[in-house]
Structure 1
Amino acid sequence: MSIDRRGVLLAGLGCTPLARAQGLDVNEAINKAGRQRMLSQRMSKAYLALAQGVEVDSARRALERSQALFVRQLDELRGFFPAPEFAETFRGLDAAWADYRQALTAAAPSVAGAGQVVARDARVLQLAHQCTVQAQQVSGKPLGRLINVSGRQRMLSQRMAKLYLAAGLGIATGAAPTELQQARTEFIAAMKELRAAPESTRRIHDELQLADAQWLYFDRALARLEPGKPDARASSDVFVTSENLLTVMEKVTGLYGAVIA
């Protein structure tokens, strides 16, 4: 299988200046809340890659930049959504993030520390998703749901790669294949929904077609999973293809946010 590594844009995520909280609109807020879900899984993926010695330079950049972006966006979102129901979500997210960050940074990434990282990313993902759903409810428009669904595809790309790497290292090997298949099914169904949405512009359809092509590479890489049997080359392919797919879905989500309802 040939992987186009030129498509990896690790440096792009987290490097552009973020809008100030008061400059956000609700579509941007849904996008950023949804991006927090993705970052929860991307950080785990990067940690597991480092623990396995896979794509070390890229994984280290991904881990560092994802942490910084998560913190900046959390502050932005807290300022944009001051309502009491959001305050409770943010309190929980602050606590979950503190625990998760401690696991990520307490020591150099290792197989010994990987189990704790994977366990703690779940709570951050849950609360980031809760925040995204609340943001979508503020919008109250079909477009808000499409931003949510498209943004969730970013998370699923990182979650599937994380599950692959975790299973390869022998972490949660029993549950990982089942969860991986569930995420795969959800990803395929969501792509179908996005293609059918009347709000999807010609440009969005072009990007979705590109995402379909990236998905084929990623799905083939995922199919090589052998729980408990780490394969550096296969893990590298999963890491790279997940980043390529993330880059495309990041653009698609931004395009939905720019649609005038």
Structure 2
Amino acid sequence: MGELFLHLDSQTKWIHEVLSQRPRGLFTDIDGTISRIAPTPEAAALLDGVAPLLRQAEATFDIVAAVTGRAARDAAALVGDDHILYIGNHGFELYQPELGKRVLAPAALPLVAALESVLDEIGPPLQERWPGLRVEPKGVTASIHLRATSDPATALEDVYRSVLEHVARASTGLRVTRGRMMVEIRPDLAVDKGTAVSEVIREHGLRSALYLGDDRTDLDAFRALRQLAEEGTCQGLSVAVQNDEAVEVAADADLVLPSIEDVPDFLRLLLT
């Protein structure tokens, strides 16, 4: 497990040392990190104080980015800041509202029809089996939300297995992963939060970066930061928001926040 963040002076010094090199970047997941997990995606809201902290970060960091499984425009609507970068759909989409620029991974586009077909085939029987299950198409990816079912943990295992078997049988070119009480379906390509963060770091020549996340898909970004540090490209710090639904994230982080309630204070520390 990564080092537990206890607001020690030695930890503060270490964080600032890692981020001392410019240009530098701040990358954060949204749901479960700067926004509490909500019953539905539409019900989510930023933690109190986070919005002004992100605006303040724009003056301290050379790149500020929200990295999420949400469609990028949905993420921008939730965060409400047109001046930062949005990496959506687990890395398949980049969106800069200020520039009106949105880019989708070209290799994913031919697989959209296959994704839609899978959702049409599996959605109705799964919803019948698990009332409260919600299918969320997001363009090049999709999420199946299970938090509102009668037994989310059991539903997660059952739905994950069912979708995995269906996708494998149909040879769709898609892959299936698990998140916090959700199943994700996306193109089976070498694209994820880690590849997207690496691309941004290399494109902007960042020399240091911090990534803040809470779920399994954030592990790709943690690993990408480690690789960039090992090759001498960019110093990195991976910070996990501890939770009971994705315990392996804390195990792979450099630093661990005890709960989501600690995130605003941690952001304030970064900006001092």
TM-score, with normalisation over the residues of structure 1? 0.32
| Higher alpha-carbon Rg | 2
Q: Which structure dedicates a bigger proportion of its chain to helix?
A: 1
Higher relative contact order (CA 8 A, sep 6+): 1
Q: Which structure dedicates a bigger proportion of its chain to strand?
A: 2
